[in-house]
Amino acid sequence: MSTTKQRRPAIEGWFTTADGEVRLLGTRCASCGTPYFPRNELACRNPRCDGPKDGSELEDHALSGRGRVWSYADSRYKPPPPYISPDPFRPYTVAAVELETERMVVLGQVAPGHTVDDLAVGMEVELTEGTLYEDDEAEYTIWMWRPVSA
């Protein structure tokens, strides 16, 4: 039964669902304060940051789970691998969302059931967890955006 399938993140360590709240897991430079997503563990990329730039300045940092839509689009045709598409293909929507606190734009698919008609630039959205693809063993999940009012 599909309902008993295990749920696993499609990628380890990029987001958390602890305490029922979905957050993106990035890093932050302890020297200059610049946040990064996806995780940057190599060195702070702010060329004017005077931190050690050996990675020791980067600490774990969960990004805010809400933001405003910067732009959005959808895919009406099946993309090539490595995207794993259900059969038949299901169109999906992608949103670029501006995080006010971090002053950055982060991409994510939009939770199923929401199309481009439900979105507008500037609209407030929040993170949720959704199924990206599944196989016989498990459903593989990923962060997704959804309108706050939903």
Backbone φ and ψ of 29, nearest 5°:
-80, 125
CA–CA distance, 99 with 140 (Å, rounded to integer):
25
As measured in angstroms, the least distance from the Cβ of 98 to another protein is: 9
DSSP 52-101: --SSTTEEEEEPPSEEEEEEEEEE-SPPPTTS---SS---EEEEEEEETT
On whether the CB atoms of residues 25 and 14 are closer than 8 A, the answer is yes
Which residues in 4-23 contact another protein (CB under 8 A)?
10-11, 14
As measured in angstroms, the least distance from the Cβ of 72 to another protein is: 6
As measured in angstroms, the least distance from the Cβ of 149 to another protein is: 19
Give the nearer residue to another protein in terms of CB position, either 19 or 82.
82
Query: 41 Cβ partners below 8 Å, 6+ apart?
Result: 27, 55, 58
Question: Taking CB under 8 A as the rule, does residue 42 contact another protein?
Answer: no
Give the per-residue contact string, 85-124, with another protein (x = CB under 8 A; - = no): x------x-x-x----xxxxxxxxx------x---xxx--
Q: Count of residues binding another protein (CB under 8 A)?
A: 49
What does each C-alpha distance from 71 to 15, 28, 121 come to in angstroms?
A: 22, 25, 6
Give the nearer residue to another protein in terms of CB position, either 3 or 47.
47
Question: Taking CB under 8 A as the rule, does residue 72 contact another protein?
Answer: yes
Give the nearer residue to another protein in terms of CB position, either 19 or 81.
81
Beta-ladder partners of 145: 110, 127
Question: Taking CB under 8 A as the rule, does residue 148 contact another protein?
Answer: no
